[in-house]
Amino acid sequence: MIQDRSKTRGPITRMHLDLPLLTGIILLCGLGLVFLYSASGQDSAQIVRQSIRLGAGFVCMLALAQVHPDKLRYWSPSIFILGIILLLAVLIEGQMGKGAQRWLNLGLFRFQPSEILKLALPMMMAWYLARDPLPPSWKKTTLAVTLILLPVVLIAKQPDLGTALLVGTAGLFVLFLAGLKWRLIIGIILVAIPTGWAVWMWGMRDYQRDRVLTFLDPERDPLGTGYHIIQSKIAIGSGGIYGKGWLNGTQSQLEFLPERTTDFIFAVIAEEFGFSGIIILLSLYLFIILRGLYIAARGQDTYSRLLAGALIMVFFVYLFVNTGMVTGMLPVVGVPLPLVSYGGTSLVTILSGFGILMSIHTNRKLMQS
Partner 1 sequence: MPNSTFKDHIIEARLFAGRSIIATIVVLVMLLILALRLAELQLLNHKHFTTKSMDNRVRVEPIPPTRGLIYDRNGILLAQNLPTHSLEITPEQVEDLDQTLSQLGKLMEISKGDLKRFNRLRKQRRRFDSIPIRTRLNEDEAAHFSVNRHRFPGVEIQAKLLRRYPLGEETAHVLGYVGRINEKELKTLDASNYSGTSHVGKNGVEKFYEKELHGEVGTRSVEVNVLGRAIRVLESQPPTPGANLFLSLDIKLQREAINTLGEENGAIVAIDPSNGSILAMVSNPSFDPNLFVSGISTDAYNALQKSPDKPLFNRALRGRYPPGSTTKPFIGLAGLELGRTTTGKKEVCRGFYQLPKLKHKYRDWKKRGHGSVDMEKAIVESCDVYFYDLANKLGIDRIHDFLSRFGFGRKSGIDISGEVTGLLPSQEWKRRARGEQWYTGETLIVGIGQGYFLTTPMELASATATLAAHGQHFPPRIVNAIQFSESEQPEPTVSIHQEQLPIRNIHHWNHIIDAMTKVIDSPRGTAKGIHTDNYKIAGKTGTAQVFTIKQDETYDEDKVAKKMRDHALFIAFAPADKPKIAIAVIVENGGHGSSVAAPIARRIMDHYLLRKER
State yes or no: residue 287 binds partner 1 (CB under 8 A): no
Which one, 94 or 324, has the nearer CB to partner 1? 324
State yes or no: residue 288 binds partner 1 (CB under 8 A): no
Which one, 176 or 246, has the nearer CB to partner 1? 176
State yes or no: residue 21 binds partner 1 (CB under 8 A): no
State yes or no: residue 363 binds partner 1 (CB under 8 A): no
Cα 127 from Cα 118, distance rounded (Å): 15
State yes or no: residue 159 binds partner 1 (CB under 8 A): no
The CB-of-146 to partner 1 minimum distance in angstroms stands at 22
Which one, 93 or 255, has the nearer CB to partner 1? 255
| SS3 assignment, position 110 | strand
Query: Residues 178 to 207: which contact partner 1 by CB under 8 A?
Result: 178-179
- DSSP character at residue 220: G
Q: How many residues bind partner 1 (CB under 8 A)?
A: 49
Which one, 124 or 278, has the nearer CB to partner 1? 278
By the 10 Å C-beta count (0-12 exposed, 13-18 middle, 19+ buried), 92 is classed as exposed
Q: Which residues contact 304 (CB under 8 A, 6 or more apart)?
A: 69, 126, 296, 360, 364
Inter-residue long-range contacts of 98-103, CB under 8 Å, 24+ positions, other chains counted: 100/158, 100/159, 100/160, 101/158, 102/158, 102/160
Q: End-to-end CA distance of the chain: give it in Å, rounded.
A: 11
DSSP state letters, 177-215:
HTT--HHHHHHHHHHHHHHHHHHHHHS--HHHHHHHHHH
> How far are the Cα atoms of 31, 83, 118 from residue 78, in angstroms, in the given order?
37, 9, 15
State yes or no: residue 28 binds partner 1 (CB under 8 A): no
The CB-of-154 to partner 1 minimum distance in angstroms stands at 27
What is the pattern of x (binds partner 1, CB under 8 A) and - over residues 219-248? ------------x-xxxxxxxxx-------
- Given 316, 318, 342, 354, the residue binding partner 1 (CB under 8 A): 316
Q: Which residues contact 354 (CB under 8 A, 6 or more apart)?
A: 21, 25, 61, 292, 311
State yes or no: residue 366 binds partner 1 (CB under 8 A): no
**Percent of the chain that is helix, strand, coil (3-state, to 5):** 75, 0, 25
State yes or no: residue 280 binds partner 1 (CB under 8 A): no
Binding piece for partner 1, criterion CB under 8 A, among 113-121, 143-151, 175-183, 199-207: 175-183
- Given 55, 133, 187, 222, the residue binding partner 1 (CB under 8 A): 133
Give the bridge partners for 104, in sequence order: 111
Is residue 257 within 8 A of residue 273, CB to CB? The reply is no
Binding residues for partner 1 (CB under 8 A): 133-135, 173, 176-179, 231, 233-241, 250-251, 254-256, 270, 274-275, 278-279, 282, 285-286, 289-290, 293, 296-297, 299, 301-302, 305-306, 309, 313, 316, 320, 323-324, 327, 329
